[in-house]
Chains A and B, each alone.
Chain A
Amino acid sequence: MTESLPTIGGLKDKIGVEWPLGVYEIEKGMIRRFVQAIEDPNPLWQDEEYAARSQYGGIVAPPTFIMTIGFEQIQKLLAASSGTLLHGSTELECYQPLRAGNVITATAKVANIRERPGKMGKMTFITFGISYQNQRQELVAKCRQMVISY
């Protein structure tokens, strides 16, 4: 699906246009690798018996997990034409827990672009709006990501 991503130079003409970032099948192993990386031992994320007895009835991902989904595609897009990429901000809204077994479709649009001179040359501030739907077309989360390119 990456062939349909716009290039950074073309992003200004794409404000508001949606494009697919990918379809992600959320597996237990994926959640386990993520929580091992962030060193979060909460049994809700890994212990099937514990999670089955909780209000969730099974393993869920930490709410922050979803903000990494599809973001690697945005980074890849911007890296092709950026010197340096920094992350400016994240705004995450969660509507449903993300469960192992969910199939998530991530869709992005460019919300806005600003440019201003900085000490390392021209800096471009790009805000993306990403929405995440599950296999039942229910909205699971929305995330706004602001990235700084210079």
Chain B
Amino acid sequence: MTGQLYYQDIAVGDEITPLVKQPTSRQLVMWAGASGDFNPIHYDKDLALSRGLPGVIVPGQLAGCFLGQLITDWIGDGGRLKKLSLSYKGMNLPGKTLTCRGRVTKKYLEDSEHYLVCSLWVEGAAGEKTITGTAVVTLPSRG
């Protein structure tokens, strides 16, 4: 982990260090086992095609967890993720590169805690936003 981020280090508009992921079909199997999510559209290609999908698709929550990692990597051990909202807008396919991105949209103090609001998104290989979201986090304060 890199050095701890503090509330005073951040300005509205700052970009979160992007996180690049390339989910594979192996990862989808591991996710199914770890999450208990055995929805066949995530492992049965023929079934997925018959349901009008472009093929086996990456579970929304798996890509959502990538956005969670984007945040926890960035806020460090001293920060806390308080809220995470995710809207699964498009399909991510295994084997394609996903880029998790975010930007700080607001900072405020409440009950002596230091809050940031960040807008988040997952960018597919063609630059389209396949997931959009919002995170509310707290950070430690200097001094």
**Residues of A in contact with B (beta carbons under 8 Å apart):** 30, 33-34, 36-40, 42-44, 54-56, 62-64, 67-68, 71-72, 75, 79, 83-94, 97, 119-120
| Beta-carbon contacts under 8 Å, B7-55 to A | 21, 27, 30-31, 33-39, 41, 51-53
Q: Which chain A residues lie closer than 8 Å to B61 at the CB level?
A: 64, 67-68, 71, 87, 90
Q: Please report the total number of B residues contacting A with Cβ < 8 Å.
A: 38
Per the bound structure, the CA–CA distance linking A63 and B83 in Å amounts to 9
Most buried by B among A75, A97, A119: A75
Determine how close the nearest CB of chain A comes to the CB of B44; give it in whole angstroms.
11
Most buried by A among B66, B68, B78: B68
State whether the Cβ of B80 lies closer than 8 Å to any Cβ in chain A: yes
Binds A, one of B69-77, B105-113, B115-123: B69-77
Q: Which chain B residues lie closer than 8 Å to A34 at the CB level?
A: 34-35
Q: Which chain B residues lie closer than 8 Å to A38 at the CB level?
A: 31, 34, 62, 65-66, 69
Per the bound structure, the CA–CA distance linking A94 and B21 in Å amounts to 25
- Sample (10) of A-B pairs whose CB atoms are under 8 Å apart: A36-B30, A36-B34, A38-B69, A40-B72, A55-B77, A62-B65, A68-B36, A72-B37, A89-B87, A89-B88
Additional 8 contacts, C-beta under 8 A, given A37-B27, A90-B88, A119-B52: A36-B34, A37-B35, A55-B78, A84-B41, A88-B87, A89-B88, A90-B60, A91-B84
Per the bound structure, the CA–CA distance linking A42 and B54 in Å amounts to 33
Q: Which chain B residues lie closer than 8 Å to A83 at the CB level?
A: 51
Q: Which chain B residues lie closer than 8 Å to A120 at the CB level?
A: 51-52
Which 10 A-B pairs have CB atoms at the shortest separation, nearest pair first? A72-B36, A64-B68, A37-B30, A37-B34, A68-B35, A87-B60, A63-B81, A38-B65, A64-B65, A84-B51
Per the bound structure, the CA–CA distance linking A91 and B61 in Å amounts to 11
Most buried by A among B37, B65, B82, B85: B65
Per the bound structure, the CA–CA distance linking A30 and B34 in Å amounts to 7
Q: Are A90 and B86 in contact (CB under 8 A)?
A: yes
Q: Are B87 and A92 in contact (CB under 8 A)?
A: no
Determine how close the nearest CB of chain A comes to the CB of B89; give it in whole angstroms.
9
Which residue of chain B is the closest to A92 with respect to CB atoms? B84
Contact partner, B33, options A37, A86, A97, Cβ 8 Å:
A37
Determine how close the nearest CB of chain B comes to the CB of A103; give it in whole angstroms.
17
Known: A63-B81, A68-B35, A83-B51. A39 touches B87 (CB 8 A): no
Determine how close the nearest CB of chain A comes to the CB of B60; give it in whole angstroms.
4
